[in-house]
Amino acid sequence: MIDQLTRIEQEAREALAAAGDAESLEGWRVAYLGRKGRLTALLRSLTELPLEERRAAGGAANRLKNDLEAALAVRREELEGRRLVAIETGRLDVTLPGRAKSVGRLHPVTQTLRDVLAAFVSMGFSVVEGPEVESDYYNFEALRITKDHPARDTMDTLYVDITHDGEYDVVMRTHTSPNQVRVMEKTQPPIRVVVPGRCYRNEATDPTHEWMQTQVEVLAVDEGIGMADLKGTLFQFAKRIFGQDRKVRFRCDYFPFVEPGAEMAIDCSICKGAGCRTCGGEGWIEILGAGMVHPEILANMGYDAQRYTGFAAGMGIERICMLRYGIEDIRLFYADDLRFLKQF
Ligand code: DAH
């Protein structure tokens, strides 16, 4: 009897290893474990044996039955796994690694910020950072935005509650431009830097204004730098981020810390330039201010302003992100609305 069991087990295991699909597995189950299968037949025939022998053989036969059932389950799982891989790849590749679980992705603004920095790094710029809480000096004064200057109104500020001589002295930075001064103070030309950072303003919000924004400041100081370098660099950047087909508008603007000053806009991706709520009917969305670093600032830094010139630009990353993905309201980015973020 035990010999018979050993033979059945051997045969059964060989046949199981040879069964390559669901159909042959079922045939195998019927042949060995089914009601008319070999093991069942053997178990039935046990009744003819004397009690002592029947117990021993019965135990062994039941153990074998359990073992074969377990082996069947393992084989079934193995074949199912291979079948799924084969379906997905059109062929069987047993060396495939396990499939990684998807755990989410970068926020679209973070992705855009990284792409913008990468565009400038590829043109030879380095990335540096500066403080989010600034002194009035760096945020305004050193950039020729004096206390009574009207430009202060366009950057209504969030003050930090620390006073100095009875005046608010510390602000949440309203732009990344103070880093122009911070970098020039401790570096000699040639300079090529980009400075990313969050900026804050006491804004009445609208589709293109939020009270917090991410900016990237660009600064290049060297001998012989001119407007052509400014324009060439910024156009190259725009092509890389927006593609060849988008329109770029470049025109004069005023900022106290540059001379001459300019602004750059991209045709609105919501209305394709026709005018809509997002672009305020303009057809264009301004993404950056720029200009030649004011010679007075160069001189204040101790540079020879005859020898060195520079250009600077400051851009809004949320707006760039809006234009890239066709998002109609800047306030959606930080509205904690996961349905909005899920589309990315
Ligand atoms: N800092 C300005 C703003 O936030 C933008 C800007 C304008 C930056 C001109 C510059 C520049 O570097 O040259 O509105």
- What are the φ/ψ torsions at residue 70 (nearest 5 degrees)? -65, -45
Report the alpha-carbon distance of residue 32 to residue 44 in Å, rounded.
14
Is the CB–ligand 1 distance for residue 195 below 6 Å?
no
The pLDDT, as a whole number, for residue 234 is 97
246: CA distance to ligand 1 center in Å? 22
Average pLDDT for residues 44-70, to the nearest whole number?
Answer: 87
Is the CB–ligand 1 distance for residue 184 below 6 Å?
no
Number of neighbours of residue 318 by Cβ within 10 angstroms: 25
- Taking Cα atoms as reference points, which of 66, 327, 42, 308 lies closest to residue 190? 308
Is the CB–ligand 1 distance for residue 294 below 6 Å?
no
Is the CB–ligand 1 distance for residue 255 below 6 Å?
yes
The pLDDT, as a whole number, for residue 129 is 98
User: Could you tell me which residues are beta bridge partners of residue 263?
Assistant: 251, 289
CB 170 within 8 A of CB 135: yes
Asked if residue 191 has pLDDT above 70, the reply is: yes
Dihedral of the alpha carbons of 235, 240, 241, 245, in degrees to the nearest 10? 80
Least confident of 86-95, 201-210, 228-237: 86-95
Least confident of 66-70, 89-93, 95-99, 208-212: 89-93
Q: What would the pLDDT profile of 71-83 be if each residue is shown by its tens digit?
A: 999 999 988 888 7
Asked if residue 265 has pLDDT above 90, the reply is: yes
Residue that wins the pLDDT comparison between 58 and 184: 184
- Taking Cα atoms as reference points, which of 166, 176, 172, 180 lies closest to residue 135? 172
Q: Give residue 336's region: left, alpha or beta (phi > 0; psi -120 to 50).
A: left
The pLDDT, as a whole number, for residue 53 is 83
- Taking Cα atoms as reference points, which of 100, 45, 33, 44 lies closest to residue 73? 33
CB 263 within 8 A of CB 289: yes
Average pLDDT for residues 233-244, to the nearest whole number?
Answer: 95
The pLDDT, as a whole number, for residue 154 is 62
What's 13's DSSP letter? H
Asked if residue 262 has pLDDT above 70, the reply is: yes
When pLDDT is cut at 50, 70 and 90, the band that residue 327 belongs to is: very high
Site to substitute for ligand 1 among 171, 177, 218, 251, most atoms within 8 A of C-beta = 177
Q: What would the pLDDT profile of 130-179 be if each residue is shown by its tens digit?
A: 999 999 999 999 999 988 877 676 667 788 888 777 777 889 999 999 99
Please state the atom number of ligand 1 nearest to the C-alpha of residue 293. 13
Report the alpha-carbon distance of residue 264 to residue 243 in Å, rounded.
16
Is the CB–ligand 1 distance for residue 172 below 6 Å?
no
Burial of 263-276, coded b for 16+ CB within 10 Å and e otherwise, reads bbbbbbbbbebeeb
Residue that wins the pLDDT comparison between 318 and 99: 318
When pLDDT is cut at 50, 70 and 90, the band that residue 56 belongs to is: confident
The pLDDT, as a whole number, for residue 165 is 75
Residue type, 321: C
Asked if residue 206 has pLDDT above 70, the reply is: yes
Please state the atom number of ligand 1 nearest to the C-alpha of residue 154. 14
Report the alpha-carbon distance of residue 198 to residue 174 in Å, rounded.
9
Is the CB–ligand 1 distance for residue 217 below 6 Å?
yes
The pLDDT, as a whole number, for residue 324 is 93
The pLDDT, as a whole number, for residue 68 is 92
Q: Nearest C-alpha to atom 4 of ligand 1 is from which residue?
A: 175
Is the CB–ligand 1 distance for residue 134 below 6 Å?
no
The pLDDT, as a whole number, for residue 153 is 67
Q: What would the pLDDT profile of 79-138 be if each residue is shown by its tens digit?
A: 888 877 777 767 667 787 888 887 788 999 999 999 999 999 999 999 999 999 999 999
Cis amide prior to 260 (ω within 30 degrees): yes
Site to substitute for ligand 1 among 175, 225, 254, most atoms within 8 A of C-beta = 175
255: CA distance to ligand 1 center in Å? 7
Q: Give residue 76's region: left, alpha or beta (phi > 0; psi -120 to 50).
A: alpha
The pLDDT, as a whole number, for residue 102 is 77
Asked if residue 276 has pLDDT above 70, the reply is: yes
- The C-alpha angle 200, 315, 342, rounded to 5 degrees, equals 75
- Taking Cα atoms as reference points, which of 282, 303, 283 lies closest to residue 294? 303
Q: Nearest C-alpha to atom 8 of ligand 1 is from which residue?
A: 314
What residue has token string 């109104």?
Answer: 153
What residue has token string 């600032």?
Answer: 297
The pLDDT, as a whole number, for residue 69 is 92
Site to substitute for ligand 1 among 257, 259, 287, 317, most atoms within 8 A of C-beta = 257
Angle between helices 2-18 and 51-89 (to 10 degrees): 10
Please state the atom number of ligand 1 nearest to the C-alpha of residue 218. 12
CB 134 within 8 A of CB 178: yes
Q: Tell me what the pLDDT averaged over the chain comes to.
A: 91
Report the alpha-carbon distance of residue 315 to residue 196 in Å, rounded.
9
The pLDDT, as a whole number, for residue 113 is 98
Is the CB–ligand 1 distance for residue 310 below 6 Å?
no
Judging by DSSP bridges, how do beta strands 167-172 and 212-223 pair with one another?
unpaired
